[in-house]
């Protein structure tokens, strides 16, 4: 093989790789557009009321293309469960104490975590609405999330809270109860402030997070 032939083959391979990368990016962009459209339609009309044809139109593709990517409406819902893990629960899990120095108080550290997680929940509220509405009715579509991802994520969250018990920051409680309480405070905050903002918003995100952290760490009882 002479030098010219090698150069030609190298150029052809480079062109092929570039074409493949471009095709993959376009394919991923289409997939994300269809998932975005599904979030919009399902959160508005529900899974049963949402039409795949309308989702395809919203995404700017044909219904045949939608089925090519996801196989069925059920497959589309399953793909959304993966997005829920990627956009809500994995970021939620990241132990936000990495942003705080050694001199950061537990109150400041927990408030920082809560502020970050509340923002994540608010940004992905339509996804969360789909999970809460459809997971009990379509457990098969969410099986990967409910049977694998979430148990693993909450086991790690339990470990995070258990570490704080060992440090003396928390009382000695069931770590899963603490994890549920921690998440419930944030979900309740977002849900109520979204439904009735005039009744349930208390200042800025930062000040709300500080108040929630205070309630989480110190409770509401008047300890004398």
Residue 190 has pLDDT above 70, yes or no: yes
> Does residue 150 or residue 62 have the better pLDDT?
62
Q: What does the pLDDT look like over 24-73, one tens digit per residue?
A: 566 888 999 999 999 999 999 999 999 999 999 999 999 999 999 999 99
Mean pLDDT of 104-108: 81
Q: CA 78 from chain center: how many Å?
A: 14
At residue 201, the pLDDT reads: 82
Which range in 144-153, 190-199, 211-220 is most confidently predicted, on average pLDDT? 211-220
Q: How many other β-carbons are positioned within 10 Å of the β-carbon of residue 157?
A: 22
Percent of the chain with pLDDT over 90: 34
Angle between helices 3-49 and 73-84 (to 10 degrees): 100
Residue ranges matching CATH 1.10.357.10 in the chain = 75-218
* 16 pLDDT higher than 60: no
For domain 1-71, which CATH number applies: 2.40.440.10, 3.50.30.50, 1.10.10.60, 3.40.50.300?
Answer: 1.10.10.60
Residues 87-97, mean pLDDT to the nearest whole number: 64
Provide the mean pLDDT of the chain. 83
Quote the pLDDT of residue 15.
Answer: 45
Q: Which of the four pLDDT bands, split at 50, 70 and 90, describes residue 221?
A: confident
In this model, does residue 177 exceed pLDDT 90?
yes
| pLDDT value of position 22 | 52
pLDDT reported for residue 210: 92
Name the pLDDT band for 1 (thresholds 50, 70, 90).
low
Task: Output the CATH code of domain 75-218.
Answer: 1.10.357.10
The pLDDT of residue 108: 85
pLDDT-based confidence at residue 89 (cuts at 50, 70, 90): confident
Question: Where in the chain is CATH 1.10.10.60?
Answer: 1-71
Residue labelled with tokens 């997005």: 83
Average pLDDT on 6-17 reads: 52
Does the pLDDT of residue 114 top 60, yes or no? yes
Kindly tell me if the per-residue pLDDT of 18 is higher than 50. Answer: no
Q: How far apart are CA 31 and CA 110, in angstroms?
A: 36
- The residues, ordered by sequence, that sit 6+ positions from 110 with a Cβ below 8 Å of its Cβ are 213, 216, 217
Q: 184 with 94: CB under 8 angstroms?
A: no
In angstroms, the CA 114 to CA 186 distance is 7
Residues 6+ apart with CB under 8 A from 161: 170, 175, 178, 179, 182
Quick one: average pLDDT of 195-210?
A: 87
């Amino acid at each position: 093989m002479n030098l010219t032939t090698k150069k030609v083959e190298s150029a052809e391979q480079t062109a092929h790789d570039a074409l493949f990368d471009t095709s993959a990016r376009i394919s991923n962009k289409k997939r994300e557009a269809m998932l975005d459209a599904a979030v919009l339609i399902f959160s508005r009309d529900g899974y049963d009321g949402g039409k795949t044809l309308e989702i395809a139109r919203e995404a700017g593709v044909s219904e045949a293309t939608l089925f090519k990517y996801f196989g069925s409406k059920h497959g589309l819902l399953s793909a959304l469960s993966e997005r829920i893990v990627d956009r809500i629960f994995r970021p939620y899990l990241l132990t936000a104490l990495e942003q705080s120095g050694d001199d950061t108080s537990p109150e400041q550290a927990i408030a920082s975590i809560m502020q970050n997680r509340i923002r994540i929940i608010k940004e992905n509220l339509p996804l969360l609405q789909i999970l809460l509405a459809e997971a009990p009715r379509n457990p098969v579509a969410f099986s990967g999330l409910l049977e694998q991802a979430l148990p693993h994520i909450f086991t790690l969250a339990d470990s995070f809270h258990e570490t704080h018990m060992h440090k003396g920051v928390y009382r000695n409680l069931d770590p899963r109860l603490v994890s549920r309480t921690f998440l419930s405070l944030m979900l309740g905050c977002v849900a109520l402030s979204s439904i009735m903002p005039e009744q349930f918003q208390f200042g800025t995100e930062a000040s709300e997070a500080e108040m929630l952290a205070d309630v989480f760490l110190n409770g509401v009882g008047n300890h004398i």
